Structure 1
């Protein structure tokens, strides 16, 4: 039995006329008759007496109307309340962020609360490797939105994983973190193809490759493969949840390089490390990511705010470039 069957019964029970019932429901008389017959077959007895001159409820029909009517109204009210809540920008929005994007996260949280006074934004830095591989955090509901690096690919793999991404809040030039004594530390800049000669930190062995590859580059734009350590971050550090400092320490100790963005230089000042700009590869976008199944008006409003921020940053960058030209 479907909700449509109950609706047809209740409308006909009020109108006691197939034509008027069909008009209210926006369907044909034949469709109303079909729905009622299907319901009666499921009940196992007639709910209406039908003659060429009139339609009236049977005793069982009157009994069914009493109980079904109350239940239908509850379902309808619940649906209406849910639809209203889905359109309302309110409640608590939990936003996790990659440590390098913390300054943006705090500003966006304040702007969101100012624009929507009924909304409270809770922000928090994510540990590693979760910050680099946010799928589980979102699907499990630990966070509503994660500000992370834009996933690789054309978006189909992201959709297949049950996630959605919004417009970029900014684009960041690439850089590689290396130990101070590393051969690349002496370079002013390095082409991305050169990185294929070195080994990078493996974020996780426990995440399925299809998900890991969304955020972990497997090769350079020219097709050269990038190599990763056999042990992942958790195995190297001896714990599952790492801080940004833990990751930097692994690089400083020579366990592997880490491909990142220039912006981390403003955020972290760690001894025994060098941050070398990388050319030959597009900038990396920072984007909001969320579970497609959990999307609501609040998440959409936050994503729109991120997009507005990104447009302002892009415009400012363009104007700065023009002024220097």
Structure 2
């Protein structure tokens, strides 16, 4: 293969700066699908040869045979339609076209490899920023977990705060939008397959507590010491959201009783009742006291948010509520996993709530 004699410097030797651009071993690749679907491993082979100007050294760096490097370079040259290297028994040099391809492709290649390195680091190294949200009223239990995490991972910058209502009751959108990396809130209690399909990962149960329904003082249900889901079908429950997709909403919202009877919810949701503003737990309880609807919560609610004019009645056929860390599966990093592990290792002791083992939230997914 000869260079054209009428060109200035027809064959140029080019060694990329630094200790080599493509020292990363290749990952799995699919088959090429055409002229516009060049495989990354082929481009990596090009930069390795351009850097080393030696097929044997390039092969050693890539961890493949010299014959395989030659095959990938020939494949690239066929795709481009011209030679990129001049090969001789004594040296390897870039052609003018090879020099041009190197210059134009280098920035994008380095950007891509940098993105791969950053992603691998995020997947394996605990650090950077972690944005944590928690259910209102649970801050006293979450604070020691955050302190333990920060002590174990001092290089991680933690941003933590209470999530307002109604988003705290159905936190999926806050996670999916990336506003929070992880939220410690009530576990979804719909079909686990739907949870998985929604791209949500649920960690170990942090706290489990029995359920109760909040009603105004003097309500007919106050004549009972305990009630069942079927006892609620004649009354409207506060609607947490009309904006969340139904399949997501129903992961956190009971729609029927165990016997199959439909539960009724208010036409307006919490956001609408608040004039479009975010709500607090006190706002929600005030709606109950005003007779706007009943609210299914936990037996310890009044311990955290005492309010006059209300009664709390245990819901005896409802599965417990489980407080868990949740995050989007696709956004999972080593930092998120590390926080979930610290949460599991620091379950609160001496609280009047039932502590259960990992995974048990799935055993009582129905009813919600």
Q: TM-score, normalised by structure 2?
A: 0.76
Gaps of 5+ in 1: 319-325
1:277 counterpart residue number: 314
1:112 to 145, 149, 162: 149
SS of 1:298's partner is helix
Confirm or deny that 1:101 pairs with 2:138: yes
SS of 1:240's partner is coil
- C-alpha contact (below 8 Å) 2:213/2:315 kept by paired residues: yes
Q: 1:120 to 1:187 in 2, by over 3 A?
A: farther
2:240 counterpart residue number: 203
Deviation track 1:224-250 (CA, whole Å, cap 9, x = no partner) reads 322211221122232331111111111
1:268 to partner: Cα distance: 0.6
Confirm or deny that 1:87 pairs with 2:137: no
Confirm or deny that 1:220 pairs with 2:257: yes
Please give the residue correspondences for 1:133-212 in structure 2 after superposition, counting only pairs within 5 Å: 133-212=170-249
- Bigger mean CA offset, 150-159 vs 19-28: 19-28
1:299 to partner: Cα distance: 1.1
- Select the structure that is richer in helix: 1
Q: 1:9 to 1:122 in 2, by over 3 A?
A: closer
Deviation track 1:155-181 (CA, whole Å, cap 9, x = no partner) reads 222232232211110111011111111
Deviation track 1:92-150 (CA, whole Å, cap 9, x = no partner) reads 32211121322222222222112211223322222221111111111222222111111
Q: Give, in whole Å, the separation in 2 of the partners of 1:158 and 1:85.
A: 24
2:266 to 224, 229, 235: 229
Confirm or deny that 1:127 pairs with 2:164: yes
Aligned residues: 318
- C-alpha contact (below 8 Å) 2:191/2:251 kept by paired residues: no
1:38 to partner: Cα distance: 3.5
Q: 1:18 to 1:92 in 2, by over 3 A?
A: closer
Aligned-CA RMSD value? 3.0
1:292 to 305, 329, 332: 329
Q: Give, in whole Å, the separation in 1 of the partners of 2:216 and 2:100.
A: 79
- Bigger mean CA offset, 210-219 vs 38-47: 38-47
- Bigger mean CA offset, 76-85 vs 121-130: 76-85
1:203 to partner: Cα distance: 0.8
Gaps of 5+ in 2: 1-37, 356-368
SS of 1:9's partner is helix
- Bigger mean CA offset, 224-233 vs 201-210: 224-233
Q: Give, in whole Å, the separation in 2 of the partners of 1:133 and 1:288.
A: 13
1:288 to partner: Cα distance: 0.9
- C-alpha contact (below 8 Å) 2:216/2:310 kept by paired residues: yes
